Structure 1
Amino acid sequence: MANISMTGRCDCGATAGPLGMCVDYYHGILAEEQSDPQMYRWHAPVVVTYLLQHPSRAHEKYLDDQFRQLQLYVDQGIDALLRLAAHQVARNNHRARLDYDMAPLAAYAPLPKGEPPGHFCASFSGLPFRDGSFVFDGHLAYGDRIKAIAEATVESWRSVQS
């Protein structure tokens, strides 16, 4: 069930959209990705953005790394994030047995301590959904919308006082 406060808002501060709360959009995106390899390119930013907007659904020990990954994505784009993921997978194969490489994320700020933001300027429940799809107007437009939510997430987290 979605995390909804007594005010009828999601724990990220968003109100329900036509499909429901953010969790409904998140599950819809994950389902649609399964049949659309181009849409799947944005899987990692979708997941980390959702978890950073809804930290009660995340594992706290991973949120700092996820925040740094999201900053890399906002700063350098989807191709840089996909290269990082491929690099980490290659390091994690059974022959290499290397630890996670934090060097590519070292330049990015850690997750601020304290309470998570109570509101984000863009959220999942604001995503348009037409003709049974989130990519009704193309993959690049969908990617732009995911990036806007990611940017709003980074901006809100940066405003948290440590």
Structure 2
Amino acid sequence: MTDSSGMGRCDCGATPGPLGECADYYHAILAEEQADPEMFRWHTVVVCAYLLQHPARGHEKHLDGQFRLLQLCLDKGLEALLRVAANQVARNRRGSRSGYDMAPLEAYAPLPRGVSPGPFRASFCRLPFRDGSLVFDGYPAYGSRIVGIAAATVESWSVLTI
């Protein structure tokens, strides 16, 4: 897709950055976090935000849970999100057939119906990348940028009516 300036746009509406479209940044994050346990702590937030900003690349049945996970992270922080995720992994290991445990997410708004509300005020295309890394200036700065993308994602989806 191109805009009036002739520049291409990502399917979320963002102008590509130095690495390319959001998918290029997403894959760079996934590759880098594989070798970096501290960076990997943000994996769930990255995946949820990316798929909500690019819902055609995800599975519709999971988007509501991903939207609620982002709200949980924004409300209670990364540690709370990691506890919920760890609990789900433990349930899966025990062979739970009841599906995803939505109880910790019931307090959060469901995903509104509609098409992706992009462009978003913060996107993956805008992440800085220096010295071959997305965490070139430390984990707190990287985490802050990921929280900013999560917040922009929730804000944009929240303006749609349920």
TM-score category (smaller protein):
over 0.9
Structure 1 residue identity aligned to 2:9: R
Deviation at 1:98? 5.5
Aligned-pair identity (%):
67
Deviation at 1:67, TM superposition (A): 0.5
Aligned to 2:158: 158
Aligned residue for 1:127?
127
Residue of structure 2 equivalent to 1:64 = 64
Q: Distance in 2 between matches of 1:26 and 1:139?
A: 17
Could you say what the CA RMSD is over the residues aligned between the two structures, in angstroms? 1.1
Question: Which runs of structure 2 are paired with 1:18-37 in the superposition (5 Å)?
Answer: 18-37=18-37
Aligned-partner Cα distance in 1 for 2:36–2:110: 33
SS in 1 for 2:93: coil
CA deviations on 1:39-81 (whole Å, 9 max, x unpaired) are: 0000000001000000010111110011011110111111011
Partner of 1:144: 144
TM-score normalised by L of structure 2: 0.93
Q: List aligned pairs for 1:5-154, cutoff 5 A.
A: 5-7=1-3, 8-94=8-94, 97=96, 99=98, 100-154=100-154
Report the number of matched residues.
Answer: 157
> What residue identity is the alignment partner of 1:97?
S
Q: Which runs of structure 1 show a deviation greater than 2 angstroms over 4 or more consecutive aligned residues?
A: 96-100
Cα distance between partner residues in 2 of 1:52 and 1:9: 17
In 2, the alpha carbon distance for the partners of 1:86 and 1:48 equals 16
Q: Which runs of 5+ in 1 are unaligned?
A: none
- Name the SS for the 1:92 alignment partner: helix
Cα distance in structure 1, aligned partners of 2:51 and 2:151: 14
TM-score (norm 1): 0.93
- Can you give the 5+ residue segments of structure 2 that lack an aligned partner in the other structure? none
